[in-house]
Amino acid sequence: MDIVSTIFLALVQGVTEFLPISSSAHLILGRWLLETLGVASSTMTPAEELAFDIALHVGTLGAVLLYFRRDIAALFMGLVDGVTGKGGARFRLLLVVIVASLPIVVGAFLAKDLITDYGRSLPIIAWTTLVFGVLLYFADRRPQLKTTIESLSFRDALIIGFAQLIAIIPGVSRSGICMTAGRFAGLDRPLSARVAMLLSIPTILGAGLLAGIEMARSGNSDLTGEALFGGVLAFLFAMVAITVLMNWLKSRSYTPFVVYRVALGVLLLGLLASGFA
C-alpha cells in the first residue's frame, strides 16, 4: 500500500472510531474514494490487508486505554474486589460494563457473516448515516440528569447494550448509538461519551481476537511495515480525536456531528441517485 493510502486510512480510523459518525462506514467510504480517485495502489494480500485493519484498531484501542487509564484501573480493581469477595462500587461498575457489552459481543459473533455480505453497501451506509444522525439530535435534546459514572444503573447498561447491538450495521456508529442511548437514558454529554468509549474496549478486543484467529488460520500472520506504521498513526489521531471530543462536550452539544451525518447521508443518497456511486 502506498504511503498516501496508509496515512489516509489511519487518519480515517483514528478520527472516526470514537466520534459518533461510524468508523466502519468511513473506512468503507475511504477505500471507495481512494479507488474512485485512482489514488490507491496496493499489492497487499488479503491476509496483509486484514493485518493492516487489525493494526489500525489496536492503535485506536491503545489511545482509549491511555486516555481513560484511571477508569481502566478502577475496572481492574473491581475485578479484584469481585474475586476476593469484597464487592463494592468498583465491582458494581465492572458488572455494569459487562452487562452493557454482552449484547454486541454475542450479536456480532452470530451476525458477522450476514453483515459482511449485506451490510457494506453504499445505500445502507447512506440511510443509516442519515437516520441515526437525526436520532442523535432528538436524544441530545433530553435533560442531562446523570453526571458521574457511579450513577449508571443496570437498566442504563441494558439500554445502551442493546442499542449498541444495532451498530453491527455499518453507518450506525457504535460510539454514536451508545451516546444516543446514553442521552435518552439521561446521561449528560461527557458521561455518554465516556461510557461509549469504555464500551469500545471489549468490542475492539473481541473484534480483534476474531480477526486475529482468522488471520492465523490463513497461514500468514506477519505484520507488514505499513500495518505497524498505520497502527501508530491511528493511535496518535485517535488520541487527538478523543481529547477534542471530551473537551468539546464539557460545554457544547452533539449538534455538529448531527449536521455532518445528515449532510453526508444526503450527499451519498444524491450520488447514488445520480448513478455516480
Nearest to 92 by CA among 150, 145, 146, 148: 150
CA atoms of 16 and 34, how far apart (whole Å): 17
Evaluate whether 181 touches 166 at the Cβ level (below 8 Å). no
Give the number of residues written for the chain: 277
Report, as an integer, the average pLDDT of 136-161: 94
The dihedral formed by the CA atoms of 219, 220, 222 and 223, expressed in degrees to the nearest 10: -130
CA atoms of 257 and 242, how far apart (whole Å): 14
The dihedral formed by the CA atoms of 173, 213, 48 and 12, expressed in degrees to the nearest 10: 20
pLDDT computed for residue 114 by the predictor: 55
| Whether pTM exceeds 0.85 | yes
253-272 residue pLDDT tens: 999 999 999 999 999 999 99
Question: Domain spans of the chain?
Answer: 3-274
Collapsing DSSP to helix, strand or coil, 187 comes out as: strand
163-218 residue pLDDT tens: 999 988 889 999 999 999 999 999 999 999 999 999 999 888 877 777 777 666 76
Listing DSSP states for 48-80 in one string gives: HHHHHHHHHHHHHHHHHHHHTHHHHHHHHHHHH
